[in-house]
């Protein structure tokens, strides 16, 4: 049996933990640069605010109904996610962090010793008491069915936060009530095709022949099909696989026209990418740098370019990667444009213990390794960018717009909540 623990309206719930005045009120959280709604309380959903709705389109509605609006506070949300996971680890040794607000638990064999309904209710109660975050838990013989069960636990109050699919009858009923577009593993393209065939529910999908699914939806579609039938095909991934590419990019809070400011942003993204390489003990042989203007501003001239710079020796050293990334930026930068976004991608990633050397390499890689080790240890202990390279600047001229950012209640001393006696 697998369990999926899903934090309810997670970003909104994090804000409510530290501001009780938000309880019962419509609340939304906006994406980077305060662009669109990416989290909504149930009260906000009742007002008709859709996921992904552009804020400028719903701003009047928010003012009319006194909707509380927040910028994304990933520092707070990431820390709260770690706290939730820490509590889950006390109940199950094998956990897969599927996303910032979802975790799979492997309950194999648990049913021999525990009543899973009672056990999961205890988990939900412990997480709520320990973090203030409400969760919904779905339990089933496969991860895909557990996702469906979790959705029901969240949607229907009668389940009291826990839905268990542990019989053929329950599985059939669950599939009949699950829209085909809500099935984990069936994307928009396949959903559109299946709806055209009058396949509207997960149950309808399981009535197709396995041969048809394999032929028309490839191996991934067949795997989803088998999971819905109760055959476990998607295993737990408790160790995060190494990334084959690492992308760091952001849209700027305001458009940038000068090279100095743009280079600060590209340097910062390169430093973040280099840190991620070192974390997974990898090196990159090539760096891609891209820049582009605001495609939505038809009144301005448009420009979009990218360049791939190959390193003589694969590296995860920030100063070395900075050198090549900024060289690439110089080759594609044009001063007559206003830029809205830039990004850096680490490519041709290899394990750091399998780097092919170069006869003409003049870099003292032992010194670079020792320097990066100190850099990472300091930044891990005191916060990202406590130590950084001067070329990264302070970010004030290009950082993302966060006009409604809440305090970092759990990670910044000055933002700690203060109680009054």
Distance linking the first and last C-alpha atoms of the chain: 47
The Cα 166–Cα 1 span in angstroms is 9
- Summarised one tens digit per residue, pLDDT across range 197-219 is 999 999 999 999 999 989 988 88
The Cα 344–Cα 334 span in angstroms is 18
What angle do the packed helices 10-18 and 74-88 form, to 10 degrees?
100
Looking at residue 69, what is its pLDDT? 93
261 and 337 in a common domain: yes
Alpha helices in 280-305 (DSSP H): none
Strands (E), 150-245: 162-164
Give the three-state DSSP class for 304.
Answer: strand
82 and 208 in a common domain: no
**Residue ranges, the chain, pLDDT below 70:** 238-242, 397, 421
The Cα 174–Cα 168 span in angstroms is 10
Quickly tell me which residue has 């939304």 as its tokens: 28
Sorted by sequence, the CB contacts under 8 Å of residue 146 that are 6+ apart come out as 2, 3, 4, 104, 138, 139, 140, 165
Tokens of 248: 């760091």
Q: Considering its fold, how many domains does the chain have in total? A: 3
Residue 127 lies in a domain: yes
Task: Single out the residue of 149, 181, 180, 185 nearest to residue 167, CA to CA.
Answer: 149
Task: Single out the residue of 124, 153, 127, 158 nearest to residue 140, CA to CA.
Answer: 153
62 and 184 in a common domain: no
Q: Is 395 left (phi over 0), alpha (psi -120 to 50) or beta?
A: left
The Cα 399–Cα 256 span in angstroms is 11
Residue 399 lies in a domain: no
* CATH number, domain with residue 266: 3.30.1490.100
CA distances from 9 to 77, 97, 101, 106, 374 (A): 12, 17, 9, 23, 38
211 and 256 in a common domain: no
Sorted by sequence, the CB contacts under 8 Å of residue 225 that are 6+ apart come out as 205, 206, 208, 210, 213, 217
356 and 291 in a common domain: yes
- Of 124, 140, 164, the position where a domain reaches its end is 164
Quickly tell me which residue has 């053929």 as its tokens: 168
Tokens of 343: 């990004």
57 and 160 in a common domain: yes
Q: Does residue 311 contact residue 285 with C-beta atoms inside 8 Å?
A: yes
Q: Judging by DSSP bridges, how do beta strands 339-351 and 135-140 pair with one another?
A: unpaired
The Cα 39–Cα 70 span in angstroms is 10
146 and 100 in a common domain: yes
Looking at residue 238, what is its pLDDT? 65
Produce one character per residue of 132-152: b if its CB has 16 or more CB atoms within 10 Å, e if not: ebbbbbbbbbbbbbbbbbbbb
> Which residues form the domain of 68?
2-164
The Cα 366–Cα 368 span in angstroms is 5
Looking at residue 68, what is its pLDDT? 93
- Of 164, 183, 204, the position where a domain reaches its end is 164
Tokens of 78: 């990431």
Tokens of 306: 């990218």
114 and 13 in a common domain: yes
The Cα 269–Cα 249 span in angstroms is 7
Task: Single out the residue of 326, 368, 320, 363 nearest to residue 344, CA to CA.
Answer: 326
160 and 33 in a common domain: yes
Looking at residue 102, what is its pLDDT? 93
Q: Does residue 61 contact residue 19 with C-beta atoms inside 8 Å?
A: no
Looking at residue 312, what is its pLDDT? 92
Q: Does residue 19 contact residue 29 with C-beta atoms inside 8 Å?
A: no
Sorted by sequence, the CB contacts under 8 Å of residue 331 that are 6+ apart come out as 307
Residue 351 backbone phi and psi in degrees, to 5? -60, 145
- Summarised one tens digit per residue, pLDDT across range 149-176 is 999 999 888 889 999 998 999 999 999 9
Task: Single out the residue of 385, 392, 401 nearest to residue 262, CA to CA.
Answer: 392
Tokens of 134: 């409400």
The Cα 203–Cα 269 span in angstroms is 45
156 and 11 in a common domain: yes
257 and 133 in a common domain: no
Residue 405 lies in a domain: no
* CATH number, domain with residue 124: 3.30.70.270
Q: Does residue 345 contact residue 266 with C-beta atoms inside 8 Å?
A: no
């Amino acid at each position: 049996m697998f369990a999926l623990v899903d934090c309810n309206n997670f970003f909104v719930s994090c804000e409510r933990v530290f501001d009780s005045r938000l309880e019962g009120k419509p609340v939304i959280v906006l994406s980077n640069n305060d662009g669109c709604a990416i989290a909504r309380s149930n009260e906000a959903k009742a007002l008709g605010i859709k996921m992904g709705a552009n804020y400028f389109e719903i701003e009047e509605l928010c003012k009319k109904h006194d909707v509380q609006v927040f910028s994304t506070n990933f520092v707070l949300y990431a820390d709260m996610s770690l706290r939730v996971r820490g509590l889950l680890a006390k109940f199950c040794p094998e956990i897969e962090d599927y996303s910032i607000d979802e975790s799979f638990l492997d309950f194999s064999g648990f049913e021999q010793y525990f009543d899973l309904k009672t056990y999961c209710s205890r988990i939900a109660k412990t997480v709520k008491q320990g973090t203030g975050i409400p969760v919904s838990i779905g339990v089933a013989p496969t991860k895909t069915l557990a996702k469906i069960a979790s959705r029901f636990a969240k949607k229907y109050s009668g389940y009291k936060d826990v839905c268990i699919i542990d019989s053929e009858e329950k599985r059939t009923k669950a599939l009949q009530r699950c829209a085909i577009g809500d099935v984990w593993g069936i994307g928009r393209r396949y959903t559109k095709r299946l709806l055209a065939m009058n396949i509207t529910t997960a149950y309808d999908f399981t009535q197709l022949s396995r041969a048809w699914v394999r032929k028309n939806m490839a191996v991934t579609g067949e795997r989803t099909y088998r999971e819905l039938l109760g055959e476990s095909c998607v295993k737990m991934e408790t160790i995060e696989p190494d990334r084959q590419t690492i992308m760091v990019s952001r849209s700027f809070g305001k458009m940038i026209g000068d090279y100095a400011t743009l280079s600060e942003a590209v340097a910062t993204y390169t430093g973040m990418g280099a840190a991620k390489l070192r974390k997974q003990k990898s090196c990159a042989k090539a760096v891609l740098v891209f820049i582009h203007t605001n495609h939505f501003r038809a009144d301005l001239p448009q420009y979009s370019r990218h360049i791939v710079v190959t390193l003589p020796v694969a590296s995860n050293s920030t100063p070395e990667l900075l050198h090549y990334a900024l060289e690439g930026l110089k080759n594609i930068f044009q001063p007559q444009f206003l830029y809205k976004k830039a990004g850096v991608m680490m490519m041709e990633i290899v394990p750091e213990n399998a780097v092919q050397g170069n006869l003409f390499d003049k870099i003292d890689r032992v010194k670079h390794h020792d320097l990066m080790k100190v850099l990472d240890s300091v930044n891990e202990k005191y916060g990202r960018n406590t130590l950084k390279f001067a070329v990264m600047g302070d970010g004030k001229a290009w950082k993302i717009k966060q006009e409604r950012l809440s305090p970092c209640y759990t990670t910044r001393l000055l933002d700690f909540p203060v109680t009054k006696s």
